């Protein structure tokens, strides 16, 4: 019997980390230093943050779409006590992209450290920790009908698709980047190979303004691809010719991880941002007729039945 979704290697069962891992560093926007330990977690936990520096009865924050408390330049989640963690999207993208369903993230500061601005260090930590298969079935949100949100210049959409996939287009107002497009089918292998190394990026002309507004306090050439009007400021240059749009894919994966289950469908973003991704999730959850909440194995059966029915119709028409 095949134990992976549509033969993709994506297991039908939930996974957690084989061991904990630890890192520390500076937040991209607050500039605050924090120490983080990412631990294995029980089945059906999802991604749970605990603020170790907050002395309240409830310092736990579940990383779910309904707890998003800010999504301007990064995504933050908060609990009913007002305890908040920001800059969560890169770590969640790495966990989701590497096939980790359940993790307990203990942090002693307000923001997840940005490290080198990509997911690469997180992915290396996850590889070293290993994965442990659990007995509970992996949950899936099977997209049955299309859904789109946007404002004309920006849009984010989900369409029915057999395997989780992504298509992103980005118009960066710098001649050093310009219009970039990227698409891929999402597997742990493709995430590591094609997305994990793509760094956060910023426009030089906006960077000082955002700093004056209290953002980007920890941004530097060590963790951000900085774009001037016609050149890249980083001496080493971009890691990919289209690094910006690849990083936008990373951000979208981290934002969609807040769904609480694997999204089986195609995500399509046009200049999409964190706020728009969260709006897409909220619309999807409110309009429940658009998606089917099933186990991943049930999603596999659902698509295989449709393939069989389609083959039958073709045989009749021959």
32, with CB counted inside 10 A (0-12, 13-18, 19+), is middle
Within 13 Å of residue 146, how many CA atoms lie on the same side as its CB?
6
Query: Torsion over CA of 6, 11, 12 and 14, rounded to 10 degrees?
Result: -150
Q: How many helices (H) and strands (E) does the chain have?
A: 7, 20
Edge-to-edge strands, sheet with 68-70: 68-70, 76-78, 84-86
Nearest to 90 by CA among 130, 148, 47: 47
Rounded alpha-carbon distances, angstroms, from residue 152 to 28, 270, 287: 29, 10, 22
From CA 56, how far away is CA 68, in angstroms rounded? Answer: 20
**Residue 29 annotated to the active site:** no
Nearest to 258 by CA among 288, 272, 278, 276: 278
Among 29, 104, 247, 274, the active-site one is 274
- Catalytic positions are 274
């Amino acid at each position: 019997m095949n134990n992976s979704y549509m033969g993709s290697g994506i297991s039908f069962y939930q996974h957690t980390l084989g061991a904990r891992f630890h890192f520390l560093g500076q937040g991209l926007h607050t500039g605050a230093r924090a120490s983080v330990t990412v631990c294995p977690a029980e089945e059906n936990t999802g991604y749970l943050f605990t603020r170790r520096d907050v002395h309240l009865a409830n310092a736990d924050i579940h990383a779910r779409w309904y707890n998003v408390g800010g999504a301007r330049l990064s995504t933050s989640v908060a609990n009913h006590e007002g305890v908040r963690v920001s800059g969560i999207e890169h770590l969640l993208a790495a966990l989701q992209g590497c096939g980790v369903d359940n993790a307990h993230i203990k942090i002693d500061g307000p923001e997840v450290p940005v490290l080198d601005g990509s997911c690469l260090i997180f992915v290396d930590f996850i590889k070293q920790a290993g994965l442990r298969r659990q007995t509970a079935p992996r949950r899936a949100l099977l997209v049955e009908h299309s859904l789109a949100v946007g404002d004309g210049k920006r849009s984010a959409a989900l369409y029915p698709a057999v395997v989780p996939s992504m298509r992103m287009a980005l118009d960066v107002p710098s001649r050093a980047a310009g219009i970039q497009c990227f698409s891929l089918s999402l597997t742990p292998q493709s995430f590591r190979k094609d997305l994990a190394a793509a760094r956060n990026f910023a426009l030089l002309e906006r960077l000082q303004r955002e700093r004056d507004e209290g953002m980007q306090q920890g941004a530097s050439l060590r963790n951000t691809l900085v774009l001037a009007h016609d050149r890249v400021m980083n001496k080493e240059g971009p890691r990919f010719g289209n690094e910006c749009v690849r990083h936008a894919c990373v951000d979208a994966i981290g934002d969609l991880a807040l769904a609480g289950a694997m999204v089986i469908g195609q995500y399509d973003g046009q200049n999409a941002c964190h706020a728009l991704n969260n709006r897409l999730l909220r619309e999807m959850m409110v309009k429940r007729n658009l998606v089917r909440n099933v186990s991943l194995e049930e999603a596999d059966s659902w698509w295989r039945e449709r393939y069989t029915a389609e083959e039958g119709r073709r045989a009749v028409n021959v």
